[in-house]
Amino acid sequence: MREKYSYQHSALVLLAAFGGNDVCGGDRTCEDLLDIAIAGVDDDVALEAHVVTDGETLRCALGMMDSSTIVCDGGLEALLEEETLHLRLKSAPESVWLRVMVEKNTLVDSMLIPTYLFDHPNGPECGPECQQGSVSLAIRGRPSGGS
């Protein structure tokens, strides 16, 4: 019985060393993610971002109460790093419609087409396959009437 184990173990080592396609790296999971990076966000104004994807509108509000408050609908997360607001969707839509409003003035109202990379955490021929995407834009200036 020990010889059989040694043979199987040696075969697995050889397959792994020489790129055997039938060996998967485990049962790791991953999830789709889209990061929308909006640069030029001042922390002293009230900002609202609406993301429309697959017929659903998700909203994030920044600074409505104070500059450290970010409130988002479920399915959308936000993080403010320096002057960049990252909106994160746990999905991989082909496109998103983004509307950004500052002090009730619309600064951005456009469709965005993300770029995705594919992730195979258990190996290139093994599932699951997840998409990690990003899209970036910059807000320049302040709305008329802003301080």
Q: Which two tokens stand for residue 76?
A: 């959308």
pLDDT (0 to 100) of residue 55: 86
Q: What is the DSSP string of 17-64?
A: HTT-TT----------EEEEEEE---TTS-EEEEEEETTEEEEEEESS
**Prediction pTM value:** 0.72
Q: Domains, the chain, ranges and CATH?
A: 25-138 (2.60.40)
pLDDT exceeds 60 at position 98: yes
Average pLDDT over residues 13-32: 64
Across the chain, mean pLDDT equals 78
pLDDT tier for residue 36 given thresholds of 50, 70 and 90:
very high
pLDDT (0 to 100) of residue 30: 87
Dump pLDDT digits (tens) for 52-90: 988 899 999 887 555 567 889 988 999 888 889 899 999
Q: What's phi and psi for 81, nearest 5 deg?
A: -120, 115
pLDDT exceeds 90 at position 139: no
pLDDT (0 to 100) of residue 8: 39
Average pLDDT over residues 36-52: 85
pLDDT exceeds 70 at position 33: yes
pLDDT exceeds 90 at position 111: yes
